Amino acid sequence: MKYVIGLDIGTTGTKTILINEEGIVVARAVAEYPLLSPKPGWAEQDPQRWWDACVKTLHDVVASSGTNAQDIVGIGLTGQMHGSVFLDRNNDIVRPPILWCDQRTAKQCEFITDTIGASRLIELVCNPALTGFTAPKILWLRDNEPENYARVVKVLLPKDYIRFRLTGEFATEVSDASGTLLFDVKNRRWSNTVLSELDIPADFMPRCYESPEVTGTLKKEIAEQLGLKPGIPVVGGGGDQAAGAVGNGIVRQGVISATVGTSGVVFAFSDKVTLDPEGRVHTFCHAVPGAWHVMGVMLSAGGSLRWYRDTFADAEKSVAALAGRDPYEYITEQADTAPVGSEGLIFLPYLTGERTPHADPHARGVLFGLSLRHTKAHVARAILEGVAYGMRDSLEIIKGMGVPITEVRASGGGARSRLWRQIQADVNGVPMVTINVDEGPAYGAALLAAVGAGIFPSVQEACDATISVSNTLEPMKEATEIYGKYYAVYRALYPDLKEHFRKIAVIVD
């Protein structure tokens, strides 16, 4: 029996899984690390913590599975997108990487848009300039830390830094590169035009591959450290959303995923380049060679519920600890006692700004419509509903672009809540489907490794052989009608508050 590894370098931790050639997960391990915020709106991490987590989890999955290391034939990488790992000529870290959720680059985004032109930028790289992307981070370093910028010789994305540590190769792949704002998404190559006009050296960027392609092999000294055999192929892998889509079987037209993790993502497969002229959703290369995807991203989906848990749910956490249960179970059980629509309480989930459909780093969370009738149950349910409204924003844009929708698959931590899946089905008026695997991007990375290792001839055939639908929740007509009315109010709130968000940002600064 052959085995492959999927390695996911996430925002809160690294998850590593080992699957066999039938797609069955035989071992998994997780190691966490902190997110650093040295200033308001900043988000950074220590790459050594990523590496330490990878070493630990790789050791753990091999040891716990009892697998002969000689039978492991491929490694696939995935992870948080957009982060900027700056390396000097000695391959040392220049400064802590700036992460996807960092909001410091608003001025650089304005500069990019003014320099290249808003519509021309979308034509060149299929996306507008957003604070989360990599290009404005590079410019921020140039503008604010010129001594550090002068040391930079290579810019890597988080998973690609781990690739470098594993193989010694500077490489990336098309799905993750699409989120840099420096990539010609239509033609699947770096955009020399954008690099030149922003005066970013092309040599900063690593060689780019398709996701199932082999990008290098495991170095002998690293293999010995990890207890693996040297020379194991390491494939391109994918950004966390593209790899997660492969792990959900989103590899054909009409199938869409709704992923509720820290962020919320609506992801649609496309066999051609499909653009939103307003740039509200992203068009990236898919991890499926020759395919693309359209993606809407909200920044604080599961992150909103985590904020509620950490700020207001001490009692639920205490009870859960005594009962050996997840505190989220108690929170959602409580939310289930509140009625559809939370009796007029609406939550805007913009706790860390927003990307889709409002590219606004100044947007902030709002609880609208509070009254003396509202309890913690109403607030908890309003958060679940507010995230569902935010996901619907993306779904509506994608539908308007003519992308067909025949099925929505739920994934991420939020998919474990039946209530949250039902709320999404009711808000969207579309059935919500779950599948037989729930390992997220790590599973997609493992399938990509299986393709690269020759176990499967294509990504589609790998998904067909391993993934099947396990549960379907149909929308409830009465709830869908009620949510339609509340959603109209939800959509009207941001435009009314937009300038006030900016005024508050000035006062806080």
pLDDT at 359: 85
- In this prediction, residues 191-201 reach a mean pLDDT of 98
pLDDT at 406 over 90: no
Backbone angles phi, psi at 47, to 5 degrees: -60, -25
Q: Amino acid identity of 309?
A: R
What band does 57 get if pLDDT is binned at 50, 70 and 90? very high
Measured CA angle at 139 (ends 138, 141), to 5 deg: 70
Integer Cα distance of 314 and 36 in angstroms: 23
- The bridge status of strand 469-473 relative to strand 432-435 is antiparallel
- How far, rounded to the nearest angstrom, does the alpha carbon of residue 365 sit from its chain's CA centroid? 20
Place of tokens 């509340």: 486
- Is 438 within 8 Å of 288 (Cβ atoms)? no
As a whole number of angstroms, the distance between CA 459 and CA 468 comes to 15
- Active site residues per annotation: 240
Q: Which helix (H) or strand (E) holds 201?
A: none
Rounded to whole angstroms, the Cα distance separating 270 from 283 reads: 9
Q: Give, as one character, the DSSP assignment of residue 82.
A: S
**Distance between CA atoms of residues 462 and 58, nearest Å:** 23
| Residue (of 84, 80, 170) closest to 134 by Cα position | 84
Neighbours of 254 (CB within 10 A): 12
Q: Each residue of 214-263: pLDDT tens digit?
A: 999 999 999 998 889 999 999 999 999 899 999 999 999 888 999 998 88
C-beta separation of 178 from 197 below 8 A: no
pLDDT in tens, 361-391: 899 999 999 999 999 999 999 999 999 999 9
Top pLDDT among 406 and 191 is at 191
Provide the pLDDT for residue 55. Answer: 96
Q: Please give the helix or strand (H or E) that residue 419 lies within, else none.
A: helix 418-428
How far, in Å, CA of 101 to CA of 462, rounded?
A: 32
Above pLDDT 90, what percent of the chain?
A: 88
Closest CA to 69 of 8, 132, 2, 123: 2
Task: Evaluate the omega torsion of the peptide bond into residue 34 and state whether it is cis, within 30 degrees of 0.
Answer: no
Could you give the percent of the chain with pLDDT greater than 70?
A: 100
Q: Which amino acid is it at 429?
A: G
pLDDT in tens, 477-493: 999 999 999 999 999 99
DSSP reduced 3-state for 372: coil
What is the predicted pLDDT for the residue at 452?
98
Whole-model pTM? 0.87
Q: Is 457 helix (H, G, I), strand (E, B) or coil?
A: coil
Pairing of strands 171-173, 207-209: parallel
Q: Which amino acid is at 403?
A: V
β-strands 432-435, 405-411 pairing: parallel
48-54 average pLDDT score: 97
pLDDT score for 411 = 86
Q: What is the pLDDT of residue 254?
A: 87
Q: pLDDT grade, residue 21 (50/70/90)?
A: very high
CB 328 within 8 A of CB 321: no
pLDDT at position 189 over 90: yes
Walk me through the domains of the chain, giving residue ranges and CATH numbers. 3-248 (3.30.420.40), 302-434+474-504 (3.30.420.40)
Mean pLDDT of the chain: 95
Between 46-60, 167-181, 266-280, 292-306, the lowest mean confidence (pLDDT) is in 266-280
179 and 134 Cβ atoms separated by less than 8 Å: yes
Q: What is the mean pLDDT of residues 465-486?
A: 96
Res 279: pLDDT:
83
Q: What share of the chain is helix, strand, coil (3-state, %, to 5)?
A: 45, 20, 35
pLDDT tens for 264-273 read: 999 999 989 9
- Count of C-beta atoms within a 10 Å radius of residue 339: 11
Give the pLDDT confidence score for residue 255 in this predicted structure.
Answer: 86
Write 312-320 long-range contacts (CB < 8 A, 24+). 312/376, 312/379
3-state secondary structure of 134: helix
Report residue 147's pLDDT band, with 50, 70 and 90 as the boundaries.
Answer: very high
Q: Is residue 281 very low, low, confident or very high in pLDDT (cuts 50, 70, 90)?
A: very high
CA separation (Å) from 449 to 2, 30, 233, 461?
Answer: 12, 19, 8, 13
